[in-house]
Amino acid sequence: MTDYQALDDEARKILRDNDRGSYTVPTDGLYPYQWNWDSAFAAMGFAGSDPDRAWTELETLFSGQWQNGMVPHILFHKPDPGYFPGPDVWGCSGPIPSSGISQPPIAATMARKVWEQDKGAGHPRMSALVPKIAAWHRWFMQWRTDRGAVCITHPWEAGRDNACDWDGAMAAIDPQGVGEYTRRDTGHVDPAMRPTKQDYDRYIWLVQRGRRLEWDEEQMARDTPFRVADPGMTFMLLRATRDLRAMAEATGFDTDEIDAWITRLRAGVETLWNAELGSYDSRDVVNGGFAQCVSNASFLNWYAGIENADMLAQLDRVMDAVPHGVPSYDPEGPKFDAKRYWRGPTWGIVNTLIAWGLEDCGHAAQAERVRRTTRDLIAEHGFAEYFDPIDGSPAGGGRFTWTAAIWLAWAT
Ligand code: 2M8
């Protein structure tokens, strides 16, 4: 018999242990800083028991916002030798030492969730966040769209670091001159679960390029070898912009510009439909080709309010193919790797977003299937970063903030 009370207690303890006062680290050791979308999930996790702490999490995230509106993917509040690359490698000059790229924009969606649970006392805090979130979304619309689809300039920006989606664009990078560096991630977890050295050379090469160009968006966009339009980012920004609109309306913030973003993003989604694959897919903006990948991000269309019967059939297929879905890459695809991070494993956080979307669009049975499989994985194997979709074993870091957060807010 599963002891749900004990698991709830453990989830709350994980959030407390990873809490650094005004922000939460994803997990002790492996990720010792504040990550953007991890933090948004943490806010959701805190909301049920401590809305004040949930708002603080989001406010701390936006305290690192750059003048151009960008909200960095990592805020390096305190130096920590346990993670590479740190602030000295990024060389950024925002209000808080940070990385120079962003991450999946789910903060608006989570802010709305917190606000819905804390409408009275939370209203002024939500109101204060709205213009900041709008500035961030404006930055995405200005610097990260291609035909309305949201592009990434670094695999880390998508949050799905080594996804097969980027293989083609990564191969176009010649990481010559990147120099020697020491990875820290492989000292914390099994290297077979992490990106390869080939991947890391290119990650670091892209960071060095951004730094050389002083993180100037206009310059970085010129002659870049890496620019990929991502269904995950596009669906998440579309959903988040609708959530931003709801909050803007409630506070009297102008919604005309927000409506125009929604229209453009909606059009962008159409450019990511790969008819040959029968799925939403990443599109290399530099050479125009599709990645030919059904990933877990492909299934975020419902989360963005978009119905698609072919995707429903794809979802049934991938969930029938492995016992513990939703896998981050098609288990029947040629590159599937059950352990390697974003190339096969199941991620509870993405499952959460997929299931919310399914539920909103009236696919209750599918939503319940995704919820149950995620709940059982966590109940049986603990609060891991991600899971092997074939045998369910826990992978990556343990005692993970976002896994604890989805447990408390959604999985049970
Ligand atoms: C992973 O990414 C970081 C780089 O940002 C890393 O591997 O060093 C990803 O899973 C990302 O989505 C996540 O936000 C981060 C912290 O959990 O770890």
Tens-digit pLDDT profile for residues 197-240: 999 999 999 999 999 999 999 999 999 999 999 999 999 999 99
Residue 104 confidence (pLDDT) above 90:
yes
Pocket test for ligand 1, best of 156, 204, 206 (most atoms within 8 A of CB): 156
Domain membership flag for residue 409: no
Among protein residues, the one whose CA lies closest to atom 5 of ligand 1: 156
Residue with tokens 């290399």: 284
Q: Is 316 in a helix, a strand, or coil?
A: helix
Asked if residue 403 lies in contact with residue 27, where contact means CB atoms within 8 angstroms, the answer is no
Domain membership flag for residue 8: no
Sign of CA dihedral 129, 130, 134, 135: negative
Domain membership flag for residue 377: no
User: What is the Å distance from ligand 1's center to 31 Cα?
Assistant: 8
Q: Which residues are catalytic?
A: 161, 385
Domain count, the chain: 1
Domain membership flag for residue 379: no
Range of 325's domain?
19-369
Domain membership flag for residue 340: yes
Asked if residue 83 lies in contact with residue 105, where contact means CB atoms within 8 angstroms, the answer is no
Per-residue confidence at 193, pLDDT binned at 50, 70, 90? Answer: confident
Q: What one-character-per-residue DSSP string does 126-193 give?
A: HHHHHHHHHHHHHHHHHHSEETTEEEESSHHHHS-TT-GGGHHHHHT---TT------SHHHHS-GGG
Mean pLDDT of 128-151: 98
CATH value at residue 339:
1.50.10.10
What are 159-184's pLDDT values in tens digits? Answer: 999 999 999 999 999 999 999 999 99
pLDDT at 1: 83
Mean pLDDT of 386-404: 97
- Where do the H-state alpha helices sit in 271-400? 309-321, 348-360, 364-381
Question: In ligand 1, which atom is closest to the CA atom of 386?
Answer: 10
What are 45-70's pLDDT values in tens digits? Answer: 999 999 999 999 999 999 999 999 99
Give me the helix-helix angle, 256-270 and 231-251, nearest 10°: 160
What are 332-374's pLDDT values in tens digits? Answer: 999 999 999 999 999 999 999 999 999 999 999 999 999 999 9
Domain membership flag for residue 180: yes
Question: In ligand 1, which atom is closest to the CA atom of 156?
Answer: 5
What are 69-101's pLDDT values in tens digits? Answer: 999 999 999 999 999 999 999 999 999 999 999
Domain membership flag for residue 408: no
Question: In ligand 1, which atom is closest to the CA atom of 38?
Answer: 14
Domain membership flag for residue 14: no
**ipTM of the predicted structure?**
0.99
pLDDT at 127: 98
Residues with CB under 6 A from ligand 1: 26, 31, 35, 37-38, 73, 156, 159, 161, 185
